[in-house]
Amino acid sequence: MVEDKPKQILQNMLNDRESDPTHLLQTLIEVQQAFRYIPHDAIDRLAESLGLGRAFILGVIEFYSFLHLEPRGEYDILLSDNATDQMQGSRLLAELLARQLDVGIGGTRGDYRVSLGYTSCTGMGDQGPAALVNGRAVTRLTSERIDRMVSLIEQAIPLDQWPAELFAVTAGVVRRDIILNSDYSAGAAIRRGLEHGPEALLDLLEQSGLRGCGGAGFSTGKKWRFCAGAEAAEHYVVCNADEGEPGTFKDRYLLQAHADRLFEGMTLCAAVIGARRGFLYLRGEYRYLLETLHKTLQQRRERNLLGHSILGRAGFDFDIEIHLGAGAYICGEESALIESLEGKRGIPRNRPPFPVIQGYRGMPTVVNNVETLANAAMIAQHGPAWFRSVGTAQSPGTKLLSISGDCERPGIYEFPFGTPIGEILAACQAHHTQAVQIGGAAGRLIPPTEFGRTLAFEDLATGGSFMVFNQGRELLKAIDNFTRFFSHESCGFCTPCRVGTAMLVRQLGKVMVGHATTKDLDELATLGTLMRQTSHCGLGLTAANPVLDGLEKFPGIFQARLCSTSFEPSFDLDASLQEARALTGRTDPGAHLEGGGV
Amino acid sequence: MNPSFKIDGVTVPFEAGQSIMEAALAAKIYIPHLCHNPEFHPHGSCRLCCVTADGRSVAACTTPALDGMEVANETHEITTQRRLLLKLLFVEGNHVCPACEKSGACQLQAVAYHCGMLAPEFVHFYPRRAVDASHPETIIDFNRCILCELCVRASREYDKKGVFSIGGRGIQAHLMINSASGKLGDSHFSAADKAARVCPVGAILPKHRGYEVPIGKRLYDQESISQVGDVAAHQERDHGE
């Protein structure tokens, strides 16, 4: 039950908003923050004020990992559980925390002082092991830091009085190229856009060859042009800052150090497509950035770079709101992100129509990655030739990489497209490298024989994640980690991803414990291929990549775990069907056990 | 000349804006499906209708037909793929055909037969799911729900009641009922609702009636689903009579 005081808080919260159902998720996040769960009274009130069904609201709450129907502890600790965190010892630290705080992992202590659990990669791969405490990022965990946290928690010291160094997130740029080395002048890109007009700006962007930096690589100029050309009452620009791909943290850096560039890019886009409202969709894990982001927005309003009649251009009105995510990787998919912006479960939409034609509230919407928008601003300022001075013909410019794992210098690296993987490994001082996972869990697993391949959309595309595994690592553990990640993050909409990810986890678990046979490996491949062929969205299409790449490129790590690699059944099941095949005159593939059978 | 495309070599005319599925249904070409019902917005979630269109794997129900397109539907590869998808649906739920009142008139079972699925292949999940018998006229057996969301769509779009929603995520995704207790009996649901007649499987069933049509005499006992189509259309017809 909600007591009187919280009831009042809730009432004030609701009074502050119009009764617009698209506010549901943002309101739920606030309620979660205020009460440490979503009380049933809150659900009833929201249902009433927003005109939504209770079940609909429950469905939204159950969809997002950071929303809870049961109270969490005063200190809600979530340890980042990416493969790189685990390599840095996060699992042992979690056990240490659990022991010292006397709370089970995945549980809440009886006195509601503390909850402990794991969460998907929090975007701190260069300064892990990392955690979130009440949504705030804690980095570089060690047993000493754990001791300090335990003592602060047992003394009930409020989070805002904890030593700041626990929350320190360092920038850690190791290599800069044209983007990070060139000067940026606030307003320059917008001025240029206003002087030359939208058409010239689109030409310029297309000449630059800028492609979406989230990984898909769609032409940014084209995307903006499609959106600009779609007739509608409103147009929207959305920045996708839901950087959830395991091992990626370059957007975190851009948001922290170069938010102004990003907002410049969004405003430029608004000028081109005719948007009056823009949204920054910020993953919940990065809520510690909210304050500085709001400050930057405010500064831009004061400098007339946002708001009414921007830079004196009558009729050019544009402003940006920040929306928070709540622990759902799928919301990085652009149409799921739009659903989430509209306050709903983040289920990817069917396409067509594409968001540039029907996006937020059914209106034409550009959704671009943080890096893409920041680059667009820089290109408008410095020109397409400057951008094309590095990179390849098909992938001009540079890419920010988030390098983590087994290397001496993890951090942010800006490399021109076309750089060979081997060169990147040398730069981050990785030694005895067994494999690199490029593009995150959804990316590709690359063995040393392929280190000559290059960073490029036409070769190895990446949203920015670059995780290094040395020869001392059990690669299968990383594959298992990524596979579990997808199962946890699948939205559950389509059959192959919903069931397939869960089956992969089980099947791989069988391999991990040494109970699998070669038939089980065939089953993994069969399931993975099915998911790759039939899934509804990018998550399902790529969720089996770690397993399929592992089976193809590192078959030995699977073989070594089989319960008996030398086992041969006493008879060949398929051959024994030969007589039946001959009798029935069947020669079709369905009459063989390989390839699906019946 | 009207635009047309080909499904397995057969020329299919279509009108602008029609999906591959809509054009195929109009041409009486069967593309296996579970979540599609021409009365509602296409959903694209069961993925059973995945075909290859000019070599690309797409859901027939959500992909617009294009002039000159070459669609492969009932090839060995695609049927194998469908059989696997069907097996996945059997893995995640608790489908006990011999004991199910819907047996013989169940679209999941019928499509499985059509695609040649005769036996399970994978270890099933056997989830624990409760049955909701709180409503006086209708029972919901969540064990058989395949998350096609047809009842969700029918209740929202046609009945204007919004009785059903989806909760959870991933393999935990589940059908929910909009009422204070979460029970059907406390909701605005009525057995006369459209939502009561769209379930392709035995998840939403009328109470107080059982085995009125003996097994062996049921819809798909008589003819293949590729000939007689969706069970929902037949349920709709029976309702009208």
**Residue ranges covered by each domain of chain A:** 4-63, 75-170, 175-388, 398-473, 476-559
Q: Tell whether B45 lies on the interface with A, counting CB pairs under 8 A.
A: yes
Chain B residues touching A68 at Cβ < 8 A: none
Q: Tell whether A535 lies on the interface with B, counting CB pairs under 8 A.
A: yes
Please give the residue of chain A at the shortest CA–CA distance from B89: A495
In a domain, B100, yes or no: yes
- Mean pLDDT score, A30-38: 94
- Domain A75-170: give its CATH code: 3.40.30.10
Q: Tell whether A345 lies on the interface with B, counting CB pairs under 8 A.
A: yes
pLDDT reading at B131 higher than 90: yes
Which of B171, B176, B179 should we substitute to test contact with A (largest number of A Cβ atoms within 10 Å)? B171
> Structure tokens of A346?
């983040």
Q: How many CA atoms lie within 13 A of A571 on its CB side?
A: 6
Please give the residue of chain B at the shortest CA–CA distance from A495: B46
Q: Tell whether A40 lies on the interface with B, counting CB pairs under 8 A.
A: no
Same domain? B8 vs B117? no
Same domain? B90 vs B192? yes
pLDDT reading at B52 higher than 60: yes
The length of chain B is 241
Percent of chain A with pLDDT over 70: 96
Please report the residues numbered 139 through 158 in chain B whose beta carbons come closer than 8 angstroms to any beta carbon of chain A: 146-147
Task: Mark yes or no for CB contact B165/A62 under 8 Å.
Answer: no
Same domain? B69 vs B179? no
Task: Mark yes or no for CB contact A523/B62 under 8 Å.
Answer: no
pLDDT reading at A597 higher than 80: no
Chain A residues touching B76 at Cβ < 8 A: 588-590
Which of A38, A357, A530, A537 should we substitute to test contact with B (largest number of B Cβ atoms within 10 Å)? A530
Q: Is B4 helix (H, G, I), strand (E, B) or coil?
A: strand
Task: Mark yes or no for CB contact A53/B162 under 8 Å.
Answer: yes
* DSSP bridge partners of A307: A318
Please report the residues numbered 163 through 222 in chain B whose beta carbons come closer than 8 angstroms to any beta carbon of chain A: 164-173, 176-180, 182
Which of B81, B88, B183 should we substitute to test contact with A (largest number of A Cβ atoms within 10 Å)? B88
Radius of gyration of chain A (CA): 25
Where residue A6 falls among pLDDT bands split at 50, 70, 90?
A: low
Chain B residues touching A344 at Cβ < 8 A: none
* B199, B163 Cβ separation under 8 angstroms: no
Q: Which of B43, B74, B105 is the last residue of a domain?
A: B74
Same domain? B98 vs B27? no
Same domain? B153 vs B189? yes
pLDDT reading at A596 higher than 50: no
Among partner residues B44, B165, B171, which is closest to A59 by beta-carbon distance? B165
Please give the residue of chain A at the shortest CA–CA distance from B162: A53
- Mean pLDDT score, A329-355: 97
Q: What is the pLDDT of residue A425?
A: 98
Domains in chain B: how many in total? 2
Task: Mark yes or no for CB contact B170/A506 under 8 Å.
Answer: no
Q: Which CATH superfamily is domain A175-388 in?
A: NADH-ubiquinone oxidoreductase 51kDa subunit (3.40.50.11540)
Same domain? B17 vs B61? yes
In chain A, count of helices (H) and strands (E)? 25, 15
Which of B165, B187, B188 should we substitute to test contact with A (largest number of A Cβ atoms within 10 Å)? B165
In a domain, B79, yes or no: no
Q: What is the pLDDT of residue A296?
A: 98
In a domain, B89, yes or no: yes
- Mean pLDDT score, A216-232: 96
Give the model confidence (pLDDT) of A133-171 as tens digits: 999 999 999 999 999 999 999 999 999 999 999 999 998
Residues 6+ positions from B116 with CB-CB distance below 8 Å: A590, A598, B79, B83
pLDDT reading at A271 higher than 70: yes
Same domain? B182 vs B150? yes
| Cα–Cα distance for residue pair B185/B150, rounded to 1 Å | 20
Q: Tell whether A496 lies on the interface with B, counting CB pairs under 8 A.
A: yes
Q: What angle do CA A566, A570, A572 make, to 5 degrees?
A: 95
> Nearest-CA distance from A14 to chain B in Å?
21
Which of B52, B61, B83, B84 should we substitute to test contact with A (largest number of A Cβ atoms within 10 Å)? B84
> Structure tokens of A150?
């335990």
Please report the residues numbered 106 through 165 in chain A whose beta carbons come closer than 8 angstroms to any beta carbon of chain B: none
pLDDT reading at A3 higher than 60: no
Q: Which of A503, A528, A348 is nearest to B45 (CA)?
A: A348
- By residue range, what is the domain housing residue B198? 85-240
Give the model confidence (pLDDT) of B135-189 as tens digits: 999 999 999 999 999 999 999 999 999 999 999 999 999 999 999 999 999 999 9
Q: Tell whether B130 lies on the interface with A, counting CB pairs under 8 A.
A: no
Question: What interface predicted TM-score (ipTM) does this complex get?
Answer: 0.97
Task: Mark yes or no for CB contact B45/A501 under 8 Å.
Answer: no
Which of A505, A533, A587 should we substitute to test contact with B (largest number of B Cβ atoms within 10 Å)? A533
Chain A residues touching B145 at Cβ < 8 A: none
CATH topology of domain A398-473: Ubiquitin-like (UB roll) (3.10.20)
In a domain, B80, yes or no: no
Residues 6+ positions from A298 with CB-CB distance below 8 Å: none
> Nearest-CA distance from A529 to chain B in Å?
9
> Nearest-CA distance from B206 to chain A in Å?
23
Where residue A571 falls among pLDDT bands split at 50, 70, 90?
A: low
Residues 6+ positions from A249 with CB-CB distance below 8 Å: A123, A124, A125, A126, A243, A402, A404, A412
Please name the residue ranges forming H helices in A475-572. 475-489, 495-512, 518-534, 538-542, 545-553, 555-559
Among partner residues A59, A502, A589, which is closest to B166 by beta-carbon distance? A59
pLDDT reading at A458 higher than 50: yes
Task: Mark yes or no for CB contact B147/A490 under 8 Å.
Answer: no
- Render A293-321 in DSSP notation, one character per residue: HHHHHHHHHHTTSSBSSGGG-TT--BEEE
Chain B residues touching A498 at Cβ < 8 A: 92, 147, 170-171, 173
Q: What is the pLDDT of residue A598?
A: 42
> Nearest-CA distance from B212 to chain A in Å?
32
Q: Give, as one character, the DSSP assignment of residue A140.
A: S
Q: Tell whether A328 lies on the interface with B, counting CB pairs under 8 A.
A: yes
Average pLDDT, chain A: 94
Q: Tell whether A53 lies on the interface with B, counting CB pairs under 8 A.
A: yes
CB-defined contacts A:B, below 8 A: 135
- Mean pLDDT score, A572-576: 74
pLDDT reading at B214 higher than 60: yes
What own/partner pairs with CB < 8 Å and gap ≥ 24 does A383-386 have? A383/A204, A383/A208, A384/A204, A384/A205, A384/A207, A384/A208, A384/A209, A386/A178, A386/A182
Percent of chain B with pLDDT over 70: 100
pLDDT reading at A586 higher than 90: no
> Structure tokens of A315?
């009729």
A476-559 to CATH, choices 1.10.10.10, 3.10.620.30, 1.20.1440.230, 3.40.50.920: 1.20.1440.230
Q: Is A172 helix (H, G, I), strand (E, B) or coil?
A: coil
Give the model confidence (pLDDT) of A56-105 as tens digits: 999 999 999 999 999 999 999 999 999 999 999 999 999 999 999 999 99
pLDDT reading at A572 higher than 70: no
Task: Mark yes or no for CB contact B85/A530 under 8 Å.
Answer: yes
CATH code, domain with B120: 3.30.70.20
- Mean pLDDT score, B45-59: 98
- Render A378-410 in DSSP notation, one character per residue: HHHHH-HHHHHTSB-SSSBSEEEEEEEESSSS-
| Cα–Cα distance for residue pair B108/B230, rounded to 1 Å | 10
Same domain? B126 vs B33? no
Same domain? B220 vs B115? yes
Distances (CA, A) of A93 to A29, A65, A345, A448: 28, 22, 33, 32
Same domain? B51 vs B113? no
Q: Tell whether A216 lies on the interface with B, counting CB pairs under 8 A.
A: no
